[in-house]
Amino acid sequence: MPRRNLLVGLGSSLGAFFGGASRANAASKAQDPTWQLSDAAWKQRLSPAAYQVLRREGTERPFSSALNGEKRAGTFLCAGCALPLFSSKAKYDSGTGWPSFWQPLPNAIATQVDFKLLVPRTEYHCKRCGGHQGHVFGDGPKPTGKRYCNNGVALTFKPDAKSAAKS
């Protein structure tokens, strides 16, 4: 009997684990009440691709974002609420096909662990609206050694005044 209970418990645990990994998750809850919008409001506000990433925690195809090659001085903002998330000074070419940064701006993101690929990863969201941005990996450049791998569709870019004048 104890052996049967062990197998049933293990089966239930694995079912919950694998079942949870396959479902589409909603974005994290907005920390700013102003940005706790309904699903319908987010769908109206965002493009279908941005909605899928920011609100359903999807991932865009690598090398599909023009922001991957953006090299001007400026700031990368959340496409959902325009909160500044990264400085162009922290951007680098990781070769992964997604815009990558070695450091976010202060108080810009919130992190949580996800198991969608069965192994724990650190996922990050816009701290203000809760929109999913990407994942943090430990293979980035110094000084942090971190790589914030961002979905380009989850960002907009605002060039510095000098960069904007040159374009």
Annotated catalytic residues are 149
The residue type at 146: K
How many Å apart are CA 52 and CA 66, to the nearest integer? 18
Residues 6+ apart with CB under 8 A from 124: 104, 109, 110, 111, 112, 133, 134, 135, 136, 148
Query: Does a cis peptide bond (omega within 30 degrees of 0) precede residue 33?
Result: no
Q: Which two tokens stand for residue 119?
A: 């192994």
